[in-house]
Amino acid sequence: MGLSILSDAAEPLYRAAVVSGRTSLEDLAERAGIDRATAAREVEVLAAIGLLDVSEGMIEAAAPRIPLEHVAAEHARAADATRRIASVFADIWNEAGDRLNFVEVIADEARIQAVHAKLMDDTTSTVDGLCIGPVSPRKMQPGMKIPRPQVADGFFDALERGVRARGLYGVSLLEDFEGLAAVHQCIAAGEQARVFAQVPLNLMLFDDRRALIAVPGQRGARRSVIVVHESGLLDCLVGLFDVFWQMGVPLSAESRAVDALDGPDPEEQQLLSYLAAGLTDEAIARDLGVSARTVGRRIARLEEVLGAHSRFQLAIQASRRDWI
């Protein structure tokens, strides 16, 4: 199956399946506290991943480690696909007889703003974007001047016209209060927002007919943008967005900014392994020699850093980063 995003209902459903043993859909939905239709959809997703076994109308939980490793392998294949797309980009560029037919490079700031406003005003159906996110304060170089995060001019007007917006942001967004506040404004206005650890470039797609690629200049200052018109290159950029969108985890208006976490320490890694194995907070606390409340706080911290909305998604995100 393709990579999919697990909803908030996935965790209580899987938990109920673990506790119940082999059971019916109706009983499982009741134990999980969700309606039957939602339970049926989630069972289908979890069964496709390999976390539930469905046979003869009965449902049973499966051990999570192998299915999660399979999900991680799928992400590895997605990364390979991205590298192949990059190769296609190079071929298109090298084979083009007249590159200016479909590519423009704009370096003047006033013209950049005018072109961006024009593309936004002309958009009728979709605006999709990849945003690397703010530079972490710990990665700032002396003299570096970084533009503060802000919502693009005309964006809210486009949403009011009925344009659908999707934004995938780098995880550094969760380290920046001002940037996250701007995204919260967009979510409140109707944008679908997701976060992913490794967003490769700053890209905007307008109706899948035009693209803007922001090219950073020296010391983080924006130097120019590349405008891509309808072409094979544009098709590749649309495909690139779709690959990374599928790997993102949804952001909500309740997502809070947190400090960066470069990687888990040994105790956090052990905690994540226990979560993936299905251990309870109490069992983890006994092994680590801390209170269950402390375990809960550490899990909540890791969820915030990885942009996960449940412990189930936390295990998936940790697996993607090879933390478990």
CA distance 166 to 158: 12
**Residues 124 and 239 occupy one common structural domain:** yes
Instruction: Tell me the average pLDDT across 207-219.
Output: 82
**Residues 247 and 109 occupy one common structural domain:** yes
Of 50-59, 215-224, 229-238, 293-302, give the lowest mean pLDDT range: 215-224
Asked if 56 contacts 34 with a C-beta cutoff of 8 angstroms, the reply is: no
pLDDT digits (tens, 9 = 90+) for 74-104: 777 777 777 777 777 766 666 655 555 688 8
CA distance 232 to 213: 15
Residue 67 domain flag: no
What pLDDT band is residue 119 in, cutting at 50, 70 and 90? very high
Residue 75 domain flag: no
Domain-terminating residue out of 221, 251, 281: 251
pLDDT digits (tens, 9 = 90+) for 219-263: 545 568 999 988 888 999 999 999 888 877 777 665 554 444 456
**Residues 186 and 302 occupy one common structural domain:** no
Instruction: Tell me the average pLDDT across 154-178.
Output: 86
**Residues 108 and 27 occupy one common structural domain:** no
**Residues 281 and 239 occupy one common structural domain:** no
Query: Which residue range forms the structural domain that includes residue 295?
Result: 266-320
Q: CATH number of the domain that 297 lies in?
A: 1.10.10.10
Q: What residue type is 291 in one-letter code? A: S
Q: CATH number of the domain that 177 lies in?
A: 3.30.870.10
What pLDDT band is residue 300 in, cutting at 50, 70 and 90? confident
Find residue 201's DSSP bridge partners.
none
Q: Look at residue 139 and give its three-state secondary structure.
A: helix
Residue 97 domain flag: no
Domain count, the chain: 3
Q: Compute φ and ψ for 61, nearest 5 degrees.
A: -75, 145
